[in-house]
Amino acid sequence: MEEHKLRAVRHLLRRDSKLTLGGLVAAMETVADEPEDAYMNLGDEWRGEENRGKFLEMMITDGCFLLEVMRMAIGGKGSIPKDYEHGDPVFSWHGIQHIGPFVQRDMLLVENQLPLRLLEKIVAVEEGTSPSAASINSMVLKFLEREDAPEGTGLGLHPLDIYRTSRLKGTSQVKNNGKGLQRGVNMTSAPMEVGIFRSQKVVPRSAWKLSEAGIRFLPSKTGCLDDIQLDNGRLYMPKVHMDDSTAYRIHNMMAFEAMHIRTGNDVTAYVLFVKDLISSADDVRLLGRKGILEHDLADDDDAVVRLFNSLTRDVSKNWESHLCRVRDAVEHHYTSNHLRVILYESWSHLKSKYFRNPWSLLALATAILLVVGDIVQAVYAVISYDPNEGKPKIH
């Protein structure tokens, strides 16, 4: 793959006379310290002033390669530059269709994050002016098949950060204060120091249990993972489609939340919330019928249960999020409708035991008719009884 990355650099330089290797190196020098911290397990051969040249070369090749792939994938078949051969194994429409999913997966690995400041610098040298944060964010999100981030969102730290931002309704924003990237926290969404949002320890209630208590599941208006609320017995949840890529996407977002201070834990809270809802395949089918949870996993509905169990393994439930308040409200609704739950469970037991086949139903109906007949006969006997009948008459 390194050979193809170098080819991307050469083609970019040939295609645009304003773009020079010296200009790229000078631009990378201004942000070299930030990417160095972003590469996990970066060996000593890449660090330090004596190895700065090698490291800058690696940043430039990675950034140019990613820009080429994203632009071709977003632009479609007609966007392939003419300087690539029609049968190019990577930089052709055929090649992009095959390599695109692998690049997407690589972009979202928490240990392999390329700072978006790096892409911003390359585009600035290429165009002669600094691009807007929205344009860089939008390009990355389109390639990752996501909608744009909320309006006013600053430049993302890296692809995983801006991807996570696009999956949330109320999220902390990224800002550049001139001294590097820091995260500005939106205190309305994920206040990390305020313990009031910490959920009380409650027994997990499955979707079926909550349905028995009268809670109705409805899809929310957005697909944001944190767009969950309980309103008058109606639990609104985002419509989520799960496939083979879901596990690594969610897992890396959760890892990013665990590693990055003051980011919030909204994705982790969502996963824990849903995990408590789906304890069996029946819960998955219920949420599927309500238009909340769809999947095309290779196995069956049990695969969704196993997926969430694996995502939450060794994850602390001592989390803080607005979903804690929703969870507490759901628990209050459940305990307030305990009588209804008992009646519903009795009815469910009756259906499962006697209504499974016509013979059981016929036997139950016959027994009910016999009991009703005995009751009617007893009532008729009491009504027709005359206490004066049989008494001797006195003259």
pLDDT per residue over 333-345, tens digit each? 888 877 776 777 6
Q: What is d(CA 80, CA 77) in angstroms, rounded to the nearest whole number?
A: 6
> Tell me: the pLDDT tens digits for 161-198?
999 999 998 654 444 433 333 433 333 333 333 344 45
Burial class (CB in 10 A: 0-12, 13-18, 19+), 119: buried
Residues 205/334, Cβ–Cβ less than 8 Å = yes
- The band of 393, judged by pLDDT with boundaries at 50, 70 and 90, is low
Strands 234-237 and 229-231: antiparallel
pLDDT at 332 over 70: yes
Element holding 236 (H helix, E strand): strand 234-237
> Tell me: the pLDDT tens digits for 20-43?
788 888 888 777 666 666 655 566
pTM: 0.78
> Tell me: the pLDDT tens digits for 367-381?
888 898 889 888 888
Q: What is d(CA 180, CA 117) in angstroms, rounded to the nearest whole number?
A: 10
pLDDT at 214 over 90: no
Q: What is d(CA 315, CA 305) in angstroms, rounded to the nearest whole number?
A: 16
Q: Name the residue ranges covered by the structural domains of the chain.
A: 2-178, 201-336, 346-383
What's the pLDDT at 318?
67
Percent of the chain with pLDDT over 70: 79
What's the pLDDT at 39?
59
Residues 58/2, Cβ–Cβ less than 8 Å = no
Exposure on the CB side of residue 89, measured as CA atoms within 13 A: 5
Q: Which of 6-20, 313-327, 354-368 has the lowest mean pLDDT?
A: 354-368
